[in-house]
Amino acid sequence: MSYKSVFVCAGLVAFAIASCDSQSQEAADPEAVVNVYSARHYDVDDDLFERFTEQTGIDVNVVEGKSDELIERIKTEGEASPADVFITVDAGRLWRAEQAGIFQSAFSPVLDEKVPANLRHPDGLWYGLTKRARVLIYNVESVDPAELSTYEALAEPEWNGRVCVRSSSNIYNQSLLGSLVETIGLEETEAWAEGLVNNFARDPDGGDVNQIKAVAAGQCDVAIANHYYWARLAKSDEPESQDVVSKTAVFFPNQADRGTHVNISGVGVVAGAEHQESAISFLEFLISDEAQEVFANSNNEYPVVDGVSMDPIVAELGEFKVDEVNVSAYGRNNPDVVKLVDRVGWK
């Protein structure tokens, strides 16, 4: 049976039975399968799932979709849901799934040992798979890196009309704000957000890549973006991308104090999972050195496991101090963040 047997039904992907042989195999060994609902859409994930099947004999069936759609689907399916594992990007979305009752504790010493405490749920409901830093991208001609220091400094008057960032509705920005609420408090975070909005070079427009391109074009001097978007441009053979990279550079903020904000893609075992043992084995495989190296070298992300090699472009950015606030705080503080950005007029 192929690791991936899916079909489209009523606009959503649904599981299909690949063959009578696969039916017989599952009947003989009902644990030799794991059903994965994934909001990550990378070919490298498919390759890893195949490796897992080759090594364990456990078939991986995959349903792909947007995070909120998959969460709603699992809720709607209820006890009849075939989902064993849910994968998504951003700790804020993991929190949404947690609040919807999607997860159960994995109870895996392997996961608890290998995944740092700040990158997993305190009760083992979900675990980080990959790590991404939310960095500052600056124009190398108009900004001396000595001018840069912290996220908070971007709200100071000297940055008036010089900052680009995407919409506050984006979960990456909401998680950054959720982290700030956890570390500096709601009142100070709101004051920072208000100052940042006052320093916008333009209204938020587009995604992180658009912000990076705006910096290169001189529309703003600095932008807030996830590091891997810059790394993708750096690895591109397109002249336009190389031009953008030549005019910009990456800065890790808050190195003199708490460290740079990081977020994760993450995974958890679904409550009521029929194939629980297979699901936990699958999670443990995803944080193995083998899988972590594939994640890091293919998606320009950082591994969550220490000592794993990463993509050379990302490695060239250098080591940096990580803010060790537990990423579960991002979602917990999200309701306050949503109200905060509305009050300060961050569109």
Q: Residues annotated as binding site for Fe cation? A: 41, 228-229
Q: What six digits make up the tokens of 51?
A: 């490796």
Question: Cα(215)–Cα(195) distance, rounded to whole angstroms?
Answer: 19
Q: DSSP readout, 19-45? A: -HHHHHHHHH-TTSEEEEEE----HHH
As beta bridge partners, residue 9 has 12
What amino acid occupies position 60? V
**Coil, strand or helix: which one is 134?**
strand
| Cβ-based neighbour number of residue 221 at 10 Å | 21
Question: Cα(300)–Cα(192) distance, rounded to whole angstroms?
Answer: 30
Question: Cα(324)–Cα(317) distance, rounded to whole angstroms?
Answer: 20
Q: Residue 165: phi, psi to the nearest 5?
A: -160, 155
What is the residue whose two structure tokens read 């990076």? Answer: 212
What amino acid occupies position 111? L
Give the closest residue to 231 by CA, choosing from 149, 169, 325, 313.
313
Q: Which residues are annotated as a binding site?
A: 41, 228-229
Q: Residue 100: phi, psi to the nearest 5?
A: -85, 0
Element (H, E) at 6: strand 6-9
Q: Residue 29: phi, psi to the nearest 5?
A: -140, 85
Q: Answer yes or no: are the C-beta atoms of 305 and 292 closer than 8 Å.
A: yes
| Cβ-based neighbour number of residue 43 at 10 Å | 9
